[in-house]
Chain A
Amino acid sequence: MQKILRKIFQSRRGNGQFLFAGLGFLVGLLLMLVSIQLYIQVQSFLRARGSYSEYLILSKKISLGNTLFLSRATFRESEIKDLEAQPFTETVGRFISNQYQVVAKSTGTVPFFTELFFESIPDDLLDVKPDAWGWKEDSDFLPVILSQDMLNLYNFGYALGKGLPQLSPGMMSVVNIKVQVIGIQGRRTFDAKVVGFSERIPSVLVPESFMLWANKNIGSSEEVPPSRIMLKVNNPADPTVAEYLNKKNFQINEDRLNASRAGSVIQIAMTIIGFIGLFFILLAFVVFSMNFRVMLAEAKQEISLLIQLGYTPHHITRFLIIHFSTFMAILLLITSVLLYYAVSYIEKFLLDNGISITTGIHPLVWLIAGIFAGLTLIINLFSVFRLIKKYA
């Protein structure tokens, strides 16, 4: 029976049109799924980058006044409070600088003698936390975290110019350094070692507990407002961050800001693509369903005649359901294969261009495809039931 019914419905002329509508549906679904997949991938890419760039180091612009009047470009407590109150702020950490002199020297592989500066920030804002990090008052060992940039400056600038050996991070951490802190209240010597390298903070960092102790017991002991603060934001792509910082005349690393701006631009672009995809699929869905209805309407005579010959509406409905479901399944299969290839191609393109994204089609994309196909199936089957009832 299925065979003869297929003959009756397939030899109709309107079928080519229906195939075309199916093709449109396929393209629409594919476009939507690809844009959702890309959206998810770009989002996770931005989020992954965000864990790096959501930490912003703020400073104030140094003006001529600062230079002439030896006034420091520091943050007032009210400014920090205001910053803490912003919706994009997660944490604000104050940099504390040394209120004493620091002299470091080393003999051995890398002999040097230099004056230094120290800074500290709260531990939870550090990007590296070596085991040896931390300091207690009776300890003579002082762990130091150096900026990765400083190691690079040494290796590719200083060491080459001075004929000194280049050092790997591992080598650097075994160099023994004598650090002397000298202040108005006295002096003390420590055995220091570089225990880690920070990519995030361009400074020479010591534990905050050491800094507080040394400022109080060696240095001037007066509290100095911070000239740099570290800001952790919940979404680095949020354009209001850049707006706020500009308004307040705070300086931050420009590339971080640019990354945020680029992030927000990409986000907007992806949202637009997603919406276009959605619009496209809705349009395709309407065209597809309308065509199916037209096909059914055109088959009205056949359906009526079948019923006159003794077919039940159930016979015809079952045939049309099987037929339509098979058609949908084939469309979905082709869409899946095309989606796989399209996504692989795009992933390859992005990876080749240095954008590392998570590969593989996100389960959400399959879920959306499934839901959409299911809805299309249900809505169209509903029109089958309704029309057959009407024709019978």
Chain B
Amino acid sequence: MDVYFDHVTPAPLAGTLNSEVHSEIPSEIWRRSLKLEGNKKYQVYAPSGKGKSTFIHIIYGLRNDYEGEVKLNDQNVRKISLKSWAKLRQDQIAVVFQDLRLFEHLSARENILVKTALYPKDYRAEIEDLAEYFGVNFLLDKKTYQLSYGERQRIAIIRALIQPFTLLLMDEPFSHLDEENIRKACLKIDQRCQENKAGLIMTSLGYPYYIEFDQRIIL
């Protein structure tokens, strides 16, 4: 799924971007025209406070407080109906939020089931497999609030990877993972993107991960 950014200025960053004239590295996304191609892997990096989450949320249709235009394929995201968004989020776009957005009072397994309940397929075995791969299978039946942030991050990644998608959005997904877990996660993400012939847009602080990005973009 192609993503177009056409001279976008998010409201929360309006003041900061104005003063950017004097900053050393200008953003390649805000107030620029940019196309992110559907089958490529992008790393969008920036220090904190530059609007990485805002960027992901705009693509995912969670915020409308910006100037300019954002398109998914040829469709203006502002004009996508609630029903179409539901369809896109079910079949096209998977996401890992920076703040994870898990149901705290549900178990880890139930958090994944919330997603898989949208599909007729039986995902139970797949959940077990992915949990084992990420080393969280023994935590599946624990309440989410009992898990560490790193463990929750892996559950959120599983929830995103398990669904069908053509675009994977990840907002600083490895912030609380150790090196080995980051490596395993990257491998899995790569594999799932290939299986789905999907594109990846990952925001981060700029560390080199175990993924071969087609392009690194500064925000």
Contact = CB atoms under 8 A, between A and B. Distances in A.
Nearest to B60: A308
B101 A308 contact: yes
Contacts of B86: 307, 310-312, 315
A312 B83 contact: yes
Interface string A272-310: 000000000000000000000000000000100111111
B114 A8 contact: yes
Contact of A305 (B85, B87, B101, B110): B101
Nearest to A302: B103
B105 A310 contact: no
A91 B198 CA distance: 94
Nearest to A388: B82
Contacts of A12: 105
B62 A308 contact: yes
B118 A8 contact: no
A4 interface: yes
B114 A309 contact: yes
B106 A7 contact: yes
Contacts of A8: 103, 106, 114
A313 B82 contact: yes
A184 interface: no
Interface in B82-104: 82-83, 85-90, 95, 101, 103
A312 B82 contact: yes
Contacts of B117: 1, 3-5
Interface residues of A, number: 21
B124 interface: no
A139 interface: no
Contacts of A309: 89, 114-115, 118
A392 interface: yes
B219 interface: no
Contacts of A315: 86
Is chain A's binding surface mostly helix, strand, loop or mixed?
helix
Is chain B's binding surface mostly helix, strand, loop or mixed?
helix
Interface string A1-43: 1011101100110000000000000000000000000000000
Contacts of B115: 309-310
A392 B82 contact: yes
B113 interface: yes
A311 B118 CA distance: 7
Given A12-B105, A308-B62, A7 B110 contact: yes
Nearest to A11: B105
Contacts of B87: 310
A12 B82 CA distance: 26
Nearest to B159: A309
B60 to A, nearest CB: 8
Interface string B19-53: 00000000000000000000000000000000000
A176 B88 CA distance: 104
Contacts of B110: 4, 7
B143 to A, nearest CB: 9
A3 B114 CA distance: 10
A7 B114 CA distance: 10
Interface string B62-86: 1000000000000000000011011
B159 to A, nearest CB: 8
Contacts of A1: 117-118
A11 B106 contact: yes
A309 B91 CA distance: 11
B161 to A, nearest CB: 14
Given A1-B118, A3-B117, A12-B105, 12 more contacts: A4-B110, A4-B113, A8-B103, A8-B114, A11-B105, A307-B86, A310-B87, A310-B88, A310-B163, A311-B86, A312-B83, A314-B83
6 contacts: A11-B106, A310-B90, A312-B86, A313-B82, A314-B83, A315-B86
Interface of B: 60, 62, 82-83, 85-90, 95, 101, 103, 105-106, 110, 113-115, 117-118, 163
Q: Which 8 A-B pairs have the closest CB atoms?
A: A310-B89, A310-B90, A312-B86, A1-B117, A11-B105, A4-B117, A392-B82, A4-B113
Interface of A: 1, 3-5, 7-8, 11-12, 302, 305-315, 392
